[in-house]
Amino acid sequence: MTDTLEQATDSLGELAAHFKKAITRIERKRSHKLRNALLIAGGTAAVAAAALATRRRRHKQPTSVDAEIEVGVPVATAYSQWTQFEEFPKFMDGVDEVTRVDDKVLHWEATVAGRHAEWDAKIVEQEPDRRIAWESVDGKRTRGTVTFEPKGPKRSRVRLHMSYETDGTAEKVGSAIGLDSRQIHADLARFRELVEGRA
């Protein structure tokens, strides 16, 4: 009887040990599942945030400005003056220097909203006495077109379209209140003074 009781006690002890191991395994599995679920949720949230940030950058709407002016010179004269790119600082406010890299590429240096900026722009289209189109290839993202239209033997209309992405609060505020539009109109007025003065 004592032997049977001892065997029963041993069996109960083994059963309790097995039960304890089973409970430990279940708890460990639960904690792994919880950890894995948290890792997956965190990773998914990080991927979603990165995708949203990329989409916002990709869909950032550029600021566009259109302006035109009539000048008292023939189209050929207006076109010829505009293609003297190194002279842009004489009539474009904020442009510090324009350097010709080759036949198609120009290096720009400017002060924009109090900050120095540099970029290269490539001439992508050029029709003598009619049209010039360019876009940046690095640095500040800009693109533009200027067209020349005869308005008589000694008059022509110069139309300028520019688009660019604003960087920083100062540029965005300036763009929002129309400072960039006023600046472009003032630049064209100075261009007229320059080209008519030389003519």
pLDDT tens, position by position, for the chain (199 residues)?
A: 555 556 555 655 665 566 566 566 666 666 656 555 545 655 555 545 555 555 545 545 678 889 999 999 999 999 999 999 999 999 998 899 999 999 999 999 988 778 888 899 999 999 999 999 999 998 767 899 999 999 988 999 999 998 877 665 444 433 433 447 888 999 999 999 999 998 7
Nearest to 188 by CA among 99, 86, 88, 115: 88
Distance, CA of 3 to CA of 8 (rounded, Å)? 9
Distance, CA of 146 to CA of 151 (rounded, Å)? 16
Distance, CA of 94 to CA of 110 (rounded, Å)? 5
Q: Residue 141's pLDDT is what? A: 79
Q: Please return the burial class of 58, using the count of CB atoms within 10 Å of its CB with bins 0-12, 13-18 and 19+.
A: exposed
Nearest to 70 by CA among 179, 163, 152: 152
Q: Residue 43's pLDDT is what? A: 53
Q: Residue 115's pLDDT is what? A: 85
Q: Residue 169's pLDDT is what? A: 45
Provide the 10 A C-beta neighbour count for residue 141.
16
Distance, CA of 146 to CA of 82 (rounded, Å)? 9
Q: Residue 111's pLDDT is what? A: 86
The pairing of strands 95-100 and 63-71 is unpaired
Distance, CA of 113 to CA of 32 (rounded, Å)? 54
Which residue, chain included where needed, has tokens 């049977």? Answer: 4
Distances (CA, A) of 3 to 9, 54, 149: 10, 76, 116
Q: Residue 38's pLDDT is what? A: 46
Q: CA-CA-CA-CA torsion for 125, 191, 182, 99, nearest 10 degrees?
A: 50
The residues facing 150 across adjacent strands are 156
Q: Residue 133's pLDDT is what? A: 96
Topology at the third CATH level for domain 62-198: Alpha-D-Glucose-1,6-Bisphosphate; Chain A, domain 4 (3.30.530)
CA 16 to chain centre: 67
* 88: CB partners within 8 A, 6+ apart: 95, 98
Q: Residue 173's pLDDT is what? A: 39
Q: Residue 183's pLDDT is what? A: 87
Q: Residue 131's pLDDT is what? A: 97
Tokens (6 digits) for 155 = 């008059």
- DSSP 8-state class, residue 124: E
